[in-house]
A and B are shown apart, each in its own frame.
Chain A
Amino acid sequence: MSVELKMPALSPTMEEGKLARWLVNVGDVVKSGDILAEIETDKATMEFEAVDEGTIASIAVPAGTEGVKVGTVIAMIDDGSEAAPKAKSAAAPAPAPATTVAAPEKPAPAAKPVEAPLPAGTNMKMSTVREALRDAMAEEMRRDSRVFVMGEEVAEYHGAYKVTQGLLEEFGPQRVIDTPITEYGFAGIGTGAAMGGLRPVIEFMTFNFAMQAIDHIINSAAKTNYMSGGQMRCPIVFRGPNGAAHRVGAQHSQNYASWYAQVPGLVVIAPYDAADAKGLLKSAIRSEDPVVFLENELIYGRSFEAPELDDHVVPIGKARVMREGRDVTIVSYSIGVGLALEAAEVLAAEGIEAEVLDLRTLRPLDTEAVLTSLAKTNRLVVAEEGWPTCSIASEIVALCMEQGFDDLDAPVLRVCNEDVPLPYAANLEKVALIDAGRIVAAVKKVCHR
């Protein structure tokens, strides 16, 4: 009988992939463990193995096909038995039951930038956040020979999340440096190299691991300029994914934004879309100050329109109105911006026009942008994928109380994750994390609807 081989999900977040190469032909006899094909996703290249013996009967998806959805039949294998055909799931090294697969990476809600306009005639092209970050580093490395990238798996592996893909090939091992798994040490080496006049970009595989290195980020990088009376510069970027991914448990899911945003001497940036990821990372690399640059794994693969410019730089410290509205302001940053835009769509259908403000830089905070929007809408909700206690949301609430009290028609509400370590179970994780529905509910509450 013939058995269907289906496109496997090779990671918890994988939705589709490229069938890069077939290693077998029709008629080949294969046995369990033989590698049949190579599949590429935006994160990695993986080998697809046979689980049973048989003969390749047909190949349904030719090599080189992009965007093959998980579950698509890609080949048929004849196992020599006579039974009625039945579907058989293909080999999948990573267990990926249907319930664990993330919500599809839907096209990001359209942004309506109100910032300084791009030059007339600027072409826009679709770019993933991952590509935008890589391009930012590559452009800055071409521009300034002092810029180098260091971290775990940044070179030969192309980055644990493929953000540094291609940098080793272009810039070589002197400037794209794989480190041992030793965060405290290489964060210190990067900080020392910055003090010595270089421009390091230090990648943490995730910011969860940066807790091993936080002493250098805060005590060495952030404070030395002050302690030296301005003699000791430390122009360094610490970057990597921050916040929750999918089903990776409490130790790999924390948002550290408020930890770093509390520290004078640091600049803290958390972009949402591809244009900002690129423009802000370029600004971060050029800055004379130490920058903590918080990315988000779940946004890496999302595509956004981004300007095709030779040198797209976004100023640090400026928030951005993503959607204009008159009834209420939703303040957010990073992945929360997408949820806020989603909520705004829902609210618009119900007659509530929400203004969505992306903070983009968390330190120094663009307080003026928050207060200006508040003065316009008189109601404000903060949406943050992170814990509520002593959060960026708390800071925005304090700001509105201290400096915007007379503009408030309702209490400012925080919509954050639940105040628990992030659980693994799919159902528990889902309820622990912020979503658009909760933002909608909070907005209705402050609008008395």
Chain B
Amino acid sequence: MAKSGKTSDTPTPAASAAPADDAPLRALQEAYQAAPLFAASDDQLLRFYEQMVMIRRFEERAGQLYGLGLIGGFCHLYIGQEAVAVGLQSALVPAKDSVITGYRDHGHMLAYGIDPKVIMAELTGRAAGISHGKGGSMHMFSTEHKFYGGHGIVGAQVSLGTGLAFAHKYRGDGGVCVAYFGDGAANQGQVYESFNMAALWKLPIIYVIENNQYAMGTAVKRSSAETHFYRRGTAFRIPGMYVDGMDVLAVRQAAEQALEFVRAGNGPVLMELNTYRYRGHSMSDPAKYRSREEVQEKRDHHDPIDHAKAELLARGLSEEKVKDIDKRIRAIVSESADFAENTPEPALDELYTDVLVESY
């Protein structure tokens, strides 16, 4: 120190390392907080609204069809979380960026504008379904849209998504992968194995934790020592962002910033989207782990669709126009439900197809 000529109050490297070193981990969040809302055009906002309403009405209808026995097995509804998929995916470049998620996947497919008929027909297990009826609610894919599913093992999509990001980087195609997972999956070991390699290799991936507050029936505070999920990447030097997942403009804004960071070759970003699932974990849910009042409070005061609608009305859109949109979407969903109910089941010889690609 004496030789360097520095004064004695110069911080030692050891003392200064921590804050200076951590600054990059906070920089994204700070930039986001400085401008937390996306400046959507009226058309963009209208489009977000339509997509969110489409997901809501579709999921409500899926719930009804489940009750009628037309949909079987597991069925996880996205109601309440619509702003997350819509806000994020609207920021992606079609046919370039890739998306992967877990089993609560209907909303992500609809956010791509995929025909609700083939999604609903998959839920009812019909040949016209997007997986020919062989996947069901949890296993839907659209390679055309670079949507890679639809995975039923909690946390698996995080490693798989990291592999998709690896492929983007390997090919140098400029694409970014968005890998969604829940607050429950965030406790899986492979998530951190993936974080480590993604940061080590600077892979182009945005990890999106959809924190809907419950892993099945276990509240985050009962399952997680660190409930601030955006900090979970810190040990791997992955910057975190904490985002209001009930506001589509906030989600879109955060997505823009995260994408800019990742596309610049800086490696992964971890976003925590604070959201809420109104319905049960799946259709068979005891609804005993939270109060009705808690759910009602979210519905009444934090609903992403109501929020977007209020914004549209404030911008001068008429109530009548909004009603027209709602009516049109209801009709599309009804049509998809009718289609899904009436279109035939797969032919029996489909049982043996698609096991292997090649013949040996």
Contacts and interface: CB of A to CB of B under 8 A. Distances in A.
A289 B355 CA distance: 9
B167 A193 contact: yes
B353 A180 contact: no
B164 interface: yes
B196 A196 contact: no
Interface string A210-251: 000001100110001111111111000000000000000000
A287 interface: yes
B156 A228 contact: no
Interface string B105-145: 00000000000000000000000011111110001111100
Contacts of B190: 184-185, 188
Nearest to A148: B170
Interface residues of B, number: 48
Given A180-B200, A232-B143, A189 B357 contact: no
Interface in B184-220: 189-190, 193-194, 196-197, 200
A174 interface: yes
B76 interface: no
Interface stretch (B146-154, B239-247, B274-282): B146-154
Nearest to B175: A196
B9 interface: no
B159 interface: yes
Nearest to B350: A229
B167 A190 contact: no
Contacts of B143: 231-232
Nearest to B162: A189
B160 interface: yes
A193 B164 contact: yes
Interface of A: 148, 174, 179-180, 182, 184-198, 215-216, 219-220, 224-233, 264-265, 267, 287-289, 315-317, 361, 364
A196 B165 CA distance: 8
A189 B197 contact: yes
Contacts of B354: 225-226, 228-230
A193 B170 contact: yes
Contact of A196 (B132, B140, B149, B168): B168
B300 interface: no
A213 B162 CA distance: 15
A228 B141 contact: yes
A227 B360 contact: no
Contact of A229 (B134, B189, B200): B134
Nearest to A264: B355
Interface of B: 98, 100, 129-135, 139-143, 148-153, 156, 158-168, 170-171, 189-190, 193-194, 196-197, 200, 353-358, 360
B135 A229 contact: yes
9 contacts: A185-B162, A188-B193, A192-B165, A193-B164, A193-B166, A196-B163, A196-B168, A215-B153, A364-B356
Contacts of B153: 215, 219-220
B358 A287 contact: yes
B163 A190 contact: yes
A364 B156 contact: no
B164 A231 contact: no
A192 to B, nearest CB: 2
Contact of B159 (A216, A229, A233, A264): A216
Given A184-B159, A225-B357, A288-B357, 17 more contacts: A182-B196, A185-B159, A185-B190, A187-B159, A188-B156, A189-B163, A191-B160, A192-B166, A219-B153, A226-B354, A227-B135, A228-B140, A229-B131, A229-B132, A231-B141, A232-B141, A364-B356
Contact of B164 (A195, A267, A315, A317): A195
B197 A226 contact: no
A333 B119 CA distance: 45
Nearest to A179: B197
Contacts of B130: 229
A189 B356 contact: no
Contacts of B170: 148, 174, 193, 198
Contacts of B142: 231
A288 B142 CA distance: 18
Which of A182, A192, A233 has most chain B Cβ within 10 Å? A192
Contact of A192 (B129, B140, B164): B164
A412 B12 CA distance: 77
Contacts of B133: 229
A285 to B, nearest CB: 13
B193 A230 contact: no
A42 to B, nearest CB: 30
A179 B216 CA distance: 33
Contact of A224 (B149, B163, B197, B360): B149
Nearest to B196: A180
A265 B149 CA distance: 18
